[in-house]
Amino acid sequence: MKNFDPNYFCQQFPLLTENLSSQDKPIIYFDNAATTQKPICVIDSYKTYYHNFNANVHRASHALSAKATTAFEKVREDVKRFIHAKSSKEIIWTKGSTESLNLIACTLGEQIVNRGDEIIVAVSEHHANIVPWQLLAKKKGAVIKVLTLDDNGVVDINAFEKLINTKTKIVCCSHISNVIGKINPIKAIVEKAKALGAISVIDGAQAIAHVPVNVQSIGCDFYVFSAHKMFGPTGVGVLYGKQALLEVMPPYQAGGEMIKTVSFNQETTFNTLPFKFEAGTPNIAGVVAFGQAINFTEQYDVNQLQHYEKKLGQYCYQALRNIPQIHFIVQHAPDIPLFSFTVDGHHNHDIASTLDSLGIAIRSGHHCAMPLMEYLNISGCLRVSLATYNSIEEVDYFIACLQKIIANTDNQVVYGQQENTDKEQSLASDKLVTQFANLDGWHNRHREIMLLSKQLTRLDKAARNDDSLIRGCESLAWLQASCDKQGIYTFEADSDAKVIRGLLVIVLAAFNGKTAQEIQHFDIDGYFESLGLIRQLSPSRSNGLLAIVEKIKSLVVSVE
């Protein structure tokens, strides 16, 4: 077993050591709850696989196929051991937690849920563990019952006991929420569900990377997770299910590999577990690479990894707590190094985008947990999530940057006025292009966008309404249009995020004073390219910008 040395450990991740941010420093990656970086052994595994033993699994009677199959099936055994499943027949390959959850809803859900039945879903779930159940409930005429949280932010076991009854068919809860970072009392939930004959589905997408998982001791019927959250590749996920349940569930997708016999004269019969649920050629290279990720982690003493992660998390938590403007979304320290908070006087997107311009990646938004945001009465929050390759020095730099951003409060807003009145009323797009051409790097361009935000004439409260709202933009943003007799359009816009206001100035500079035809044909991507912003902000890729452009185009159509 290798001794855990944080420096050496981090060196195994080329993205973190071989790439520089716009600050000419190694990238600081604090978005590990979204996905983790990959160690070199995982990256190399793809090359080795395709160089040396690429063949389809299970099918052919040749040596290459046997080699590929052995490697592929060994990883199933590794996963079985990793989560302490009884049998490798209980390990089904999927493309991620999302597909695993959909698989359960579409097979077992279809089979056991009927009109009037109830499905309990915790309010803190990721959309992946909400929407499949909503679709199922709608189709079957079943009811979703929402399980609330206690004061500490974990699912409320007392509320659960009142919610569950003999109509409850399925109970869905994450082991650890991707926003709250605390361990839910899943053993108690599973036990109670079992006592009332309900199926328990545990979303382990976050927990798998941070806490030892023993599905037999948890006692759950299903446990799902994704390889990419634990240094493994994207496109590989696991559905653990109790064998007895998997045996009687109908298949999910149909095709090759999941059948035993196919005939036009007799009923098609299905393969044994786990293959019954694995139609088509699986992600062989991904599964093999996932095996490398498991081996990579297992080289180290789990206690040493956990000790370091805990120390790092406590250090970061304490440093964040010392900033008075920070409000954590739940009380008390989380169980994993994942911190969600808002900052007084600053929009989440402004903080996250400024940190990004300083080479620090954190997340802002609803984190695919919109019901939780609603429950907490916030529109979104910032999330910092650490992994074992992160360091105390990175946390120090992050905290110093965050403090500087917070100290720079020039957010006093006078609605109906331009914040910076000495600037010209409107900027021509070609002037902006020249202005941006003189700026070097994303950091300077981002700063310019933040400065430009001051030139936006803020909309009155009455104009910030449902009609003017730009849907699809994660921060609140509004836009209204007027058209003169010559068919020339003028747009006014606003947002609660400074960075979006800056982008609105840029977008409006392109569209204001143009006719409907000119607007419809304007090459917005080309414009962003000439501003040197396309790498960070492509209007056809970036949801927020796309939503702004689409709103402009829709208003042009409707005003025409």
Torsion sign over Cα 136, 138, 139, 143:
positive
CA dihedral 140, 142, 147, 148 (to 10 degrees): 100
Of 85 and 179, the one with the shorter C-beta distance to ligand PMP is 179
The answer to whether 491 and 481 are in contact (CB under 8 A) is yes
Closest approach of Cβ 482 to ligand PMP, in Å?
42
Of 176 and 481, the one with the shorter C-beta distance to ligand PMP is 176
Please pick, among 316, 368, 401, 473, the residue that the annotation labels catalytic: 368
Closest approach of Cβ 368 to ligand PMP, in Å?
6
- Binding residues for ligand PMP, per CB under 6 A? 33-34, 96-98, 126, 128-129, 174, 178, 203, 205-206, 226, 368
Of 408 and 543, the one with the shorter C-beta distance to ligand PMP is 543
d(CA 542, CA 536): 9
Closest approach of Cβ 235 to ligand PMP, in Å?
9
DSSP state of 415: T
d(CA 110, CA 250): 9
In degrees, rounded to 5, the angle at the alpha carbon of residue 63 between the alpha carbons of residues 43 and 231 is: 20
Closest approach of Cβ 148 to ligand PMP, in Å?
18
Closest approach of Cβ 557 to ligand PMP, in Å?
35
Of 128 and 273, the one with the shorter C-beta distance to ligand PMP is 128
Element (H, E) at 131: helix 131-140
d(CA 325, CA 346): 9
Spacing of C-alpha 521 from chain mean position: 34
In degrees, rounded to 5, the angle at the alpha carbon of residue 410 between the alpha carbons of residues 405 and 415 is: 135
Alpha-carbon distances, residue 520 vs 242, 479, 550 (angstroms): 55, 17, 10
Our answer to whether residue 106 is catalytic in this structure is no
Of 180 and 552, the one with the shorter C-beta distance to ligand PMP is 180
Strands 143-147, 118-122: parallel, antiparallel or unpaired by DSSP? parallel
SS (H, E, C) 144-157: EEEECECCCCCECH
Q: Which residues pair with 491 in a beta bridge?
A: 481
Of 128 and 284, the one with the shorter C-beta distance to ligand PMP is 128
Closest approach of Cβ 203 to ligand PMP, in Å?
5
Closest approach of Cβ 301 to ligand PMP, in Å?
26
b/e burial code for range 316-351 (CB count within 10 A of at least 16 → b): bbebbeeeeebebbbeebbbbbbbbbbbeebbbbbb
Of 98 and 271, the one with the shorter C-beta distance to ligand PMP is 98
d(CA 185, CA 190): 9
The answer to whether 72 and 285 are in contact (CB under 8 A) is no
- Which positions are annotated as active-site residues? 368
